[in-house]
Structure 1
Amino acid sequence: MGTTRGGGENARVETESERHGDEPHRGDLGSRLNWLRAGVLGANDGIISTAGLVVGVAGASADRTVILAAGIAGLVAGSLSMAGGEYVSVSTQRDTERAALAKEARELREMPEAEERELAEIYHDKGLSPDLAKQVARELTENDALQAHAEAELQIDPDNLTSPMQAARASFVAFAVGAVIPLAAIALPPVGARVWTCVVAVALGLALTGTVSARLGKAPIGQAIARNVLVGALAMVVTYYVGVLFGVTVG
């Protein structure tokens, strides 16, 4: 049912589609949340791994150039590794989705009646009456059979398959952004303040990523922050003393 906007002669009826036209569909929203969650996790990995690396090097050497070189190398290597891993993983997922869609298209050509009955059973299992489930299955099949069966049976949108390049780019950028935090925090301050500045910056960065990931997953924020910061602190403590030990041994 529409609602009226404005007044007088210029008033018009606003339809449901107009009021909700800009709202994301459930599938689109879920996809965006997954990408955002992956970005947060990539940034989290960038913070922790780079922090462990530069703090470990700082434990072995006070040379700013050495620390900066190691941090930049870790940033580049980690970003490329994340991007490459994500590209391979999502490419495999996309190949699997395409194979499933090809199989479904073949079944629709070879046994359309059986596939329509299967679609009706799916909607009946979701709570529709048998007659209504058959009617829905028939109308959806007549409109776009592959789309209807792919979404109901496979939970795949044929028009919105996962993109390996998009995943790789997102992972590369997320890791690099996270890695910049400990890299800048340990490279810019004077020698005596480097490690503690890095510790504080990393703790704040991990608290932020922990908060965002908890909100996305509707989990307790305090636990997520504590877990994140604890893991980061453990990584820095271990690598710092490994660096100290290495520096003493080599020196």
Structure 2
Amino acid sequence: GRASFLLNFRRLRCLRTDETMSQRADSEKKGWINRVEFTQIVKTYEIPLKDASMDIDALFDILDTSREKKITIQTFVDNFESHIQSAKEMGHILEIAEVMKAAFDAMLAEPRAQRNRVNEAFLEAHHRMEQEHKGFGVNFWGSTWRFRLYEDLYSAARGPDGAVLPYTSRYTHLKERLAAVARGKDPWLSGPAAADPQIQREVGNWAGVRQFCAEWLALLAREEERDAGLARRAAEAAAARAALKAASR
């Protein structure tokens, strides 16, 4: 594992030879790194993230293929292989940080798209209820319940064992839970919500919570359709450019 790690990163012809990536990633020579060590690597190489906590959660969960809360050095290195090879073929001299950024951006494309859909739909669902005069002062007298709902169903959602779900599972989990709350069949309504005095004071009508979740879910579906349409048009444009290029040869 370690030998392969060194071999792959030597291909980069990095300028920082006194402080190699292998030393940073696996200073104890365990053959793997945990979440704390992974976070430190990202900070050390100043990899830009859009939402540091959630991006790191997503990256770690993608790389933790064994679900043992650790990333093997081999798995870590393998994810950079295509970027290393591309740099070699073009004769580029790259810093480790450049390769890591390119690889991480590619890995985060879908998690970030999902997170954007969730956040946009969450905000618009609230806006719609206000426009319909079904929000503050009618069904609700505060916002604690909404942010607790976001946390419990998505950002810190937990599985049956009580552990926080892997980031890569949370999007599907959210949609399933929103559908259940909208039907009045989710334990959140009788569990966390019912047990929180602040939420009890804020919510005047639980039907309003159910409607909010139905709106949130419907807006997520709309965002998915929009993104799928954009991806389809991008693919069609790329195919047309490729065909034009081939025809001009």
TM-score range, shorter chain: under 0.3
Q: TM-score, normalised by structure 2?
A: 0.26
Indicate the structure with greater helix content.
1
Question: Radius of gyration: which is bigger?
Answer: 1
Greater relative contact order structure (CA < 8 Å, 6+ sep): 1
